[in-house]
Structures are given as C-alpha cells and as structure tokens.
Structure 1
C-alpha cells in the first residue's frame, strides 16, 4: 500500500472553523475522535491537532442536510448531529451543544452559500457566518478559467508545483531523481496545467499529462477516460495512490546556511576572500553598588554635586570604571534604656565662717604699705605691744 502524501495545513484553502469531532461513517464500526478543519467547502480530518498531514477528507458538494441526533451519549455534555450526503450518512459528536450549532452553521453556510436562520446562535456568531459565506463566494469566484493564467489567480498550489517549461521539467526530474519523479507545472498555453513524470525502464521515460479546468470548478486529466478532481492536491494524491507509490511528488527543500559570512577584498593585493562574521561580543553587565542598585556610567550633574543631601566625602569616583560608588549610611546602634537614677539629696547651704584675722590681712597690708600712715600708726602699735608684753610678764611672775 502506497504511503499517502498528505496535504500540508499551510496548503489547504481558507480555514473557517476547527475543533475535535467524533466521526463515524457507514464504513466505520466505531467512532474516532479526530481534529477536524473546515477549509473552503471541505472537511479535513487529522489524528491530532499538531499533525501536519490530513488522513481523511469530506467534500461538501453533495450535502443534503445537517440535522440533530437525539440518541443518548455516555458523555452528558456531548451533542450529536448527522450529515446526510449523496453517498451516505455520517454521524458526528461535538463536545457541547454550542459547538454542535456552530459546526452545523459553518457546514451549511459553505455548502449552500447562505446562513441558516433556524440555528440557536448569538448575533455575533451569525455575523461570523455571514463573513464566512462572503469569503467562500470570493474564493469560488476566482477559479482557474481558460482565460486567466493559473499562476496569477490561484496561490494554493501543491508542494510539487514548479514554474518551469516542459524541457526544464525533464531536466529537473533527472537531476533530482532521489527526491521524487512527479511534478506539476504550467501548461504550454499558460492557461492550463500539466503533470510531468519520470520512470526508469532501460533508461529514463518521461510522460506529460494535460490538466484542464471545469467551468463549474475543479479539474480533470485530459485523457481517453477523464478523471475529475476538486483540487490540484487531490489530483496529485490520486496519481500517487493509483500507482502504488511508483510516482512520488518532487519536493525540494531549500538549504540554509548556519553561519554568516561575507566577501572581503585585501587593499594591498586586491584578493577577494570569504570571511566569517565575528561573533558578537557579550553585553557587559552594569556594575552593582553595595546597596544593590545599578550604577550609571553618566557623569554627575552640577545640581547633583551641589545637593546638600549628598555627602561629598561618601561620594567618590572610581577612575578605573568611571562610575559612582555611594557608601550606605552607618546604621544607628540600638538605644540602651538605663534605669532611673535616685534623686540627689538636698544639702542646705552652710554659712561661710568669718575669719576676721584673715579678712583683715589684706586691709592691714594696704595700710602698712603707705609710708605716711606707717609713721603715725607704727609708734603707737609698738607702745601698745610693749604694754601687753609687760603685763604678761607680771602675770607669769
């Protein structure tokens, strides 16, 4: 069994709505929980949301009706609905009734190009459905026609599409034989497509198939028994599956350099050489002060120097690193609380003793120092002294 060449999400038509749905068709015995994307008028199913390649799809061209399914479900929050197609009925289970109403509205809008009025939706959700119908009409109004070049009208192209003529397509398949042997290109008239294939049978065998567009939309291979397709992606997948992997799309991934280099010339000899771009220098981290703040390299303004709040002794400039280092103020020591001291005893002031002799000494010295007074007082004092001495001698005798 040939491996299916999935279609990348980026290559799908416009995405209108997506989410998890449990799907069960008439061919399935059990339901499967798949990530479902409504792109254009087709439902694409993926195993997981992160997957890039879809595993199934459901075209809504043959839609007949979308109705609710009232059968019970083990999950009380889940809500079922049926999609009736021309080739059978498909059962879906949405995670909630609101999600079911949105899925029904989107499916019916892109299939019938009109918003159903019987849905239980909010006004904003009806507005989104109207925008979806307008986008789908614009997308369908620009199909490939016989009068318009395909490369300018349609941008949703398979990964194996190359804008090359017939001869260059053969050379490309010959040169990149290990990467694929089928490519899609523009037709000779510029208004159609062509598929070029390469296989080996006693040498390289190239074949070219013309791809034409249908007036109502879609494509077909111009052979004896035409095969019709809705998109060019479906056409490429058909070629891969029906040939059991003998034909594989040519997908060439571009290579990217890991290092930046440039061409430089020597000024002396004019020789040109390729030089690698030097590694960028790591950014220097700003120094941190003692307080944990980032210090600036900018000079201190005059206003900052004259500010009384800054102590010039604590603010110094480091001549090596050219930044300001401010020392933090000393933390005050905790104040000690001493017990109250007893009140001092009050001592009454004592009266100074009066010493007449000592107090008279300065006066007497002043008097005796005067020569006139000395002549008057001295004889009298001597006589008085003699008298006292004589009396004392008599008393002793």
Structure 2
C-alpha cells in the first residue's frame, strides 16, 4: 500500500494550518485492514480525520484515515502482551482498523472523541467524568461550526428536490449514496434495501447491501416516466405504477433476498425534564415519577325523582314486543320480525271472551 503524501505538522502559520483543528492526540498502536503487524504511532484527531505520525515531535504525518465512512466502534477483549493495554476495533465501510490504547481510560476517551466527531453528538453510553463530557461537548460545537463554514467544492442537489408522486414507501431516506451504504452497514437487521434521492436531484435510486466475503453494495436508478409512474433503469427496464411497486418488484425479482430497510427509532420510556438549582444555578436532569396520577374524588349521586310514584297507578300502556324466532342465514340475511301480544293484552282478551259467552247464553 502506497504511503499517504507527507504533510508538515508545525505551528500556527505553517503547513499545520492546512489541517483541520486538532481535538485529541496520543499514542495508539494501529493495524489497518491490509497490514500484518501493528505500528505504534502518534495519532491526532483533526476534524473528521485521524492523522498518524511516527512520533509526537514529528512534523510530517505518514498516513491519514477519513472518518466519513465510519460504521461502528467495538471493544476488542482479546488479550495483549501488555496487560494494561485496551484494544479497539474501528469499523469503516472499506474494512476494519484495529487500535490499541495504553489503558482502559485512554480507550474510553478515544471512543468519546471519535463518536463526538462522527455523530456530532456527545455519546451517553460511555463512563466519563463531567469535565471530559464538557470537552466532548466543545468538540461537537467546534466540528459543527467547522462543517458549516467550510466551502464545498460543488453544491450538492437538494435531496428533497425530487417531485415524488403518490405514497412514499417507509424505506425512503433522504440520504446520499455514501450515507445509504453506512446506514445499511450499521443496521443489518433492519433490512438491506432503501430508496433515496439520486445524485442529479431529478431521479431516485435504490441502494442494496448483501454479504459476500464482506459487504457488497449495488445502486439502481429509478426515473419517472412522462406518461406517469416509474421505471427501474436496468438492462431490461421494469415499469412500475408507484414507488411501492418499485420496492415490491425488487423483492420479487430477488426471491425475497432484498428486504425494505425499516429503522424504528427508539422512544423514551420515562419522562425527563431539566431544572436549575436555585443556590448554584447548576442544571440537573430529573426523571418524572412513573406512578399513576391520583384519581379525582367521585361526585355524589344527583337527587332525582323516584322511579315510581304512588299517584301514578294507571296500568302501563299496551306495548308490543319485537321477537326474532327466525335466525339469520346466508339465504335469509334479514331477520324476520314477528309482533307478539304482551301478557296484559292476552288477559284482557280472555276476559272479553268470557263476557261475550255469558251474554250469548243469557240471550238464548
């Protein structure tokens, strides 16, 4: 592997000014993906790069590592000849770099600075002191400011400039090609295919990831047709009416090997809030109690009129009861309603029948 071009690392005003600001530095043992042995190098985290020098006083770096392809950091628990040394695996999209810090505390600090620069956020999963966390916060602020002020070589197209038609599939992500690869690499359990804007800002693209002795990425262009719908631009173009059909077509063509990328963002399990101490002004994060809120006392029942009154003794009016002796069936979906007389009506009819019979007997 050819060595990186040598660049001086001198004081302000010299060639060192061409490098991004240095956030953290120290000795690390490094072994790249194609290196058979580790080398002890003075390592500087400058901006979004790791610069490696032969020693702390050297003014020329011998190698650099671009962290834009960062995937993950993982502790390496394998034993080392130096019992105090702590190993770390820096996983990039093009391979793994093994780093060895002098001790566990140094490894945690390196992880904190690397996470802060790559994610632009202070990591909460590390055991660090308040002063160290404050340093990481300052690094995040500086790196954000640096990225905002630097002049890009060309203005990239807006990822949202694509005039999408119809319902957007949940695997759509407004990311670039490189960001899509990193996203699929970081979350292999969430799917291996996502839809994203194309580089030209006028088309779409599908990025896929599969394992074949490492990650294999593929990118497919998806364009809109003038007569409506979309087409997957491959050797034999595949027309699709909607973006959902684009994803379904790729799943079907690969016999289910490709699956849409669905990343569920975690939600908080507790309610938290920040308050300031009245004495020293220190801001503290509190967790709200999880016990259920007390129920309000029940209102007393309203005093209403009695259901029955001794003044109203008139018999209830004759009411007909609706019955449904015939159940519903597929051939007779509508239930047949039959009107049957109430018990009070039957009693009155019997009394009237007896009176009529007596009247007839007296006339005879």
**What TM-score, normalized by structure 1, do the two folds share?**
0.36
Q: Report the structure number with the largest CA radius of gyration.
A: 1
**What TM-score, normalized by structure 2, do the two folds share?**
0.40
Answer 1 or 2: higher relative contact order, Cα 8 Å, separation at least 6. Answer: 1
Q: Report the structure, 1 or 2, having the larger strand content.
A: 2
